[in-house]
Amino acid sequence: MPKISERGIIMPESPIRKLVPLANAAKRKGVKVYHLNIGQPDLPTPQVALDVLKKVDRKILEYSPSDGILSYREKLVKYYGKFNINVNVEDIIITTGGSEAVLFSFMACLDPGDEIIVPEPAYANYMAFAISAGAVIKTIPSSIDEGFALPSVEKFEALITEKTKGILICNPNNPTGYLYTQKEMNQIRDLVQKYNLFLFSDEVYREFCYTGAPYISAFHLKGIEENVILIDSVSKRYSECGIRIGSLVTKNKEVRASVMKFCQARLSPPLIGQLIAEASLDASEEYMLDNYNEYVERRKFLIDGLNRIPGCYSPIPMGAFYTVAKLPVEDADHFCAWLLSEFEYEGQTIMMAPASGFYTSPELGRNEVRIAYVLNKEDLQKALIILRKALEVYPGRVL
C-alpha cells in the first residue's frame, strides 16, 4: 500500500473536533450534550443577511472575481474605517473564510523552513496552515497565572534566527480571550521593525472587546504599515460560520500580488456567501450592541461560576468569547473524554476542548480546557452544574 505524505502524518488533529465521535455516541444513547468546545455562536444571523439569502434571484450562480466582489470590498473599506483602519479597496482580498486568509498569507510570505513566532496557547489550526505551507511555528508560552499576558521581548528575541520571517498574533485572542494592551502592541511593533518581520494579525473578534480602552489593530501601529497582514472573517461577528467568507488585508503590494496567484488558482470565494456578507454590513447598531451585551453577561456568569467550583480557576477574558480554565485534574484530555463516554448527570453532559491541543509543548495545558461561552445563560448554568458534579466523582481529580 502506498504511504501517505509526511505532511499528512504530522498534520495535527483539531483539539476542538477530535472528541466529536464520543459526543455523537453519547447523543445516540440519549444524553444531551452541551457544546462548550467550539466557537459556533448561537445568536441569530442578521435579518438583513437572511433576507438576501431568501431572495437570491439569479439564473446563473457564476464565478465571482478572484479577489472578491467589488461592491463588497468597497463596503468593507467603510466598515474598517469605523475602527480607524484606513485601507483602500485594493488592499482587501476576499477569502474562503479567515482560514484561507491565514493559509494564503503563509503561502505568499513564507518559504519551506521559514519560521514564525506565535504566543501560545494559540488557535490550533495555525499549526496546520504552517505545515501546509512548509513553514515552522516557534511558540512562546504565556501563563494562565499571569492572565496570558504577552511574553517578554527577551523571550521573543531568544527565538529569532535568520529563518524568522514573522510574528503571528490573535487579538482578541482565541483560545484565551486575552486582549493585548497598547504597550504590548508597541513591543510587537518594535520587534517587527527591528528584525524586518511580517506581522500576521488575526482580528476576527474585534467587535468583542470588554475593556474601556479603545480597540488596537495592527494597522494602528505606525511605521510597519507594509509589514502588516490582517486576517478577518464574518463568522463570529454575524454568526455566519457556515458561509465561509473572510478577508486578507494588507498595504504590501508584493504580498497582495502573490496572494492573488493562489486566489486565481482556487478561482473564486463563495458567491452566495459574499452576497450575505455584504448585506450583513448593514446590520443595525442595535443588533451589534445586543450581541455584545449578551456576551458581556455570559462572560461574567461563566467566569463567576467557574471560579466558585473548588479547584477551578479562570482569569477574566477581556475579548472574544472564550476562556481557558484550569481544572483540578491531571489530564484534561482524559477528563473531557470521560465526560462524554462515562459520565452523565440527569441525562446530560458537557463537551469542552482540552487546552493541550492549543500548545505545541506536550507538557503544557495538561490540566486546562478551553470553554466557549456561546450558549445562553440558562444552558451555561446547567453546564456549570454538570462540571461541578463531574469533578466531585471523577477518579482522576487532584485533591
Residue range of the domain that includes 94: 48-280
**301: pLDDT strictly greater than 90:** yes
Please say whether the beta carbons of 281 and 46 come within 8 A: no
pLDDT of residue 159: 97
Rounded average pLDDT over 8-27: 88
Q: Are residues 103 and 123 in the same domain?
A: yes
pLDDT of residue 212: 83
Q: Are residues 119 and 250 in the same domain?
A: yes
**16: pLDDT strictly greater than 80:** no
Task: Read off the pLDDT band of 15 (50, 70, 90).
Answer: confident
What CA–CA distance (Å, rounded) separates 161 from 115? 8
pLDDT of residue 362: 87
Q: Are residues 174 and 256 in the same domain?
A: yes
What CA–CA distance (Å, rounded) separates 174 from 186? 20
Q: Which of 280, 309, 339 is the last residue of a domain?
A: 280
The reported pTM is 0.96
Percentage of the chain modeled with pLDDT above 70: 100
User: What's the number of domains the chain is made of?
Assistant: 2
**199: pLDDT strictly greater than 80:** yes
Q: Are residues 119 and 162 in the same domain?
A: yes
Q: Are residues 81 and 165 in the same domain?
A: yes
pLDDT of residue 161: 97
Task: List phi, psi (to 5°) of 118.
Answer: -135, 125
Q: Are residues 235 and 372 in the same domain?
A: no
CATH code (residue 40): 3.90.1150.10
Q: Are residues 256 and 178 in the same domain?
A: yes
pLDDT of residue 89: 98
Percentage of the chain modeled with pLDDT above 90: 94
Between these two residues, 109 and 396, which has the higher pLDDT value? Answer: 109
Q: Which DSSP state fits 121? A: S
**214: pLDDT strictly greater than 90:** no
What CA–CA distance (Å, rounded) separates 67 from 63? 11
pLDDT of residue 253: 98
Q: Are residues 195 and 131 in the same domain?
A: yes
Q: Which of 225, 251, 280 is the last residue of a domain?
A: 280
Q: pLDDT tens digits for 100-117?
A: 999 999 999 999 999 999
pLDDT of residue 399: 73
Q: Which of 280, 296, 315 is the last residue of a domain?
A: 280
What CA–CA distance (Å, rounded) separates 296 from 280? 22
Residue 162, burial from CB neighbour count under 10 angstroms (0-12, 13-18, 19+): exposed
Q: Are residues 195 and 321 in the same domain?
A: no
pLDDT of residue 345: 98
Q: Per the domain annotation, does 33 fall within a domain?
A: yes
Q: Per the domain annotation, does 153 fall within a domain?
A: yes
Q: pLDDT tens digits for 112-159?
A: 999 999 999 999 999 999 999 999 999 999 999 999 999 999 999 999
pLDDT of residue 13: 78
pLDDT of residue 290: 97
CATH code (residue 95): 3.40.640.10
Q: pLDDT tens digits for 29-74?
A: 999 999 999 999 999 999 999 999 999 999 999 999 999 999 999 9
Please say whether the beta carbons of 323 and 317 come within 8 A: yes
Q: Are residues 307 and 198 in the same domain?
A: no
Task: Read off the pLDDT band of 340 (50, 70, 90).
Answer: very high
Q: How distant, in Å, are the alpha carbons of 181, 197, 289, 364 from that of 373?
A: 23, 34, 17, 23
Q: Which DSSP state fits 102? A: H
